């Protein structure tokens, strides 16, 4: 009897030991400057598709070092560089970046003079245009920064010509447009045909190297709220575009949502 009791005691002890080791492995901190346990980290990935979650978990230290860098970029920028603007997360009527530059004065090809973009987007556009020019390509910029008031008149125009429901599939209400950020660009022609132009194909392949990201991809109207717009790109910095491509399947809304949702938590845990 005593021997049996001993066996039970040892068995229970071993079970507890195994269980506590398992619990400990999940409570282990992920290496790097962000002090976060593996369990906490995994929880931030819950809403992502399985393949993305697995890739991030397999490269957790690298991923978190990128996140750390993106937080620094975001704080230095101070102009909502990664803010996921949409119908529910709107900009105020007075939001206007301070560093807007005139595109025609910066040597870029435009459909009309006087269009503006932020300095960081202009620098990236110039670099991208130069690289494309070496392959005989030339981007035409057809739309850039829009004020809140301008967006309101554009949106009202589309409602009057297409009706409220149809207009809302491709036109943002005031405050809900990425164009108010000063980092979104429409390349000409603003039409589905842009996708199959040499420039349209080139930017789809290479835009990320310069920090440009396709905002409204094909087959994601439900998630983004907009129809496929092959001409509309947003500058999200080179690092941002790299992380979006490597870990979020090149899907801007997933990347920006993730960052917006967890940025503050990661920031508080940064050593
Ligand atoms: Zn656009």
In degrees, rounded to 5, the angle at the alpha carbon of residue 148 between the alpha carbons of residues 144 and 150 is 65
| Dist. CA 180–CA 262, nearest whole Å | 24
In a domain, 213, yes or no: yes
User: How far does residue 38's CA lie from ligand 1's centre (Å)?
Assistant: 39
SS3 251: coil
- Model confidence at 189, pLDDT cuts 50, 70, 90, reads very high
Nearest to 182 by CA among 85, 260, 109: 85
| CATH number, domain containing residue 112 | 3.30.1380.10
User: How far does residue 155's CA lie from ligand 1's centre (Å)?
Assistant: 12
Residue 173 DSSP code: P
User: How far does residue 240's CA lie from ligand 1's centre (Å)?
Assistant: 19
| Dist. CA 214–CA 124, nearest whole Å | 15
SS3 107: coil
In a domain, 200, yes or no: yes
Residues contacting residue 261 through CB under 8 Å, at least 6 positions apart: 44
Q: How many domains does the chain have?
A: 1
User: How far does residue 22's CA lie from ligand 1's centre (Å)?
Assistant: 50
Q: What is the pLDDT of residue 21?
A: 47
User: How far does residue 180's CA lie from ligand 1's centre (Å)?
Assistant: 10
User: How far does residue 150's CA lie from ligand 1's centre (Å)?
Assistant: 13
List the domain range (segments joined by +) for residue 173. Answer: 83-235
In a domain, 187, yes or no: yes
Helices 252-268 and 238-247 pack at an angle, to 10 degrees, of 110
Predicted confidence (pLDDT) per residue in 125-153, tens digit: 999 999 999 999 999 999 999 999 999 99
In a domain, 35, yes or no: no
In a domain, 252, yes or no: no
Would you say residue 17 has pLDDT above 80? Answer: no
Tell me if 233 sits within 8 A of 183, measured CB to CB: no
User: How far does residue 185's CA lie from ligand 1's centre (Å)?
Assistant: 6
User: How far does residue 187's CA lie from ligand 1's centre (Å)?
Assistant: 8
In a domain, 26, yes or no: no
In a domain, 215, yes or no: yes
Q: What is the mean pLDDT of residues 115-130?
A: 98
User: How far does residue 230's CA lie from ligand 1's centre (Å)?
Assistant: 9
pTM of the entire predicted model = 0.90
Tokens of 219: 């087959």
In a domain, 145, yes or no: yes
User: If you average pLDDT over every residue of the chain, what do you get?
Assistant: 93
User: How far does residue 184's CA lie from ligand 1's centre (Å)?
Assistant: 7
């Amino acid at each position: 009897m005593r021997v049996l009791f001993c066996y039970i005691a040892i068995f229970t002890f071993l079970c507890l030991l195994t269980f506590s080791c398992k619990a400990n492995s999940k409570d282990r901190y992920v290496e790097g400057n962000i002090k976060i346990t593996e369990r906490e980290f995994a929880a931030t990935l819950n809403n992502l598709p399985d393949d993305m979650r697995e890739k991030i978990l397999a490269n957790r230290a690298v991923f978190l070092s990128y996140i750390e860098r993106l937080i620094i970029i975001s704080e230095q920028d101070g102009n909502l560089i990664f803010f996921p603007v949409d119908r529910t997360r709107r900009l105020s009527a007075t939001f206007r970046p301070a560093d807007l530059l005139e595109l025609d004065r910066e040597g870029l090809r435009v459909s009309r003079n006087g269009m503006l973009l932020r300095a960081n987007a202009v620098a990236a556009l110039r670099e991208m245009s130069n690289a494309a020019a070496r392959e005989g390509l030339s981007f035409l910029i057809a739309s850039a920064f829009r004020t809140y008031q301008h967006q309101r008149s554009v949106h009202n125009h589309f409602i009057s010509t297409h009706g409220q429901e149809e207009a809302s599939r491709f036109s943002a209400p005031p405050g809900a447009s990425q164009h108010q950020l000063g980092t979104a660009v429409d390349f000409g022609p603003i039409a589905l045909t842009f996708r199959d132009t040499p420039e349209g194909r080139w930017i789809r392949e290479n835009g990320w190297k310069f920090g440009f990201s396709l905002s409204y991809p094909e087959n994601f109207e439900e998630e983004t709220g907009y129809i496929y717009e092959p001409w509309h790109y947003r500058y999200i910095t080179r690092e941002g575009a790299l992380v979006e491509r490597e870990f979020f399947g090149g899907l801007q809304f997933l990347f920006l949502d993730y960052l917006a949702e967890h940025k503050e938590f990661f920031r508080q845990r940064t050593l």
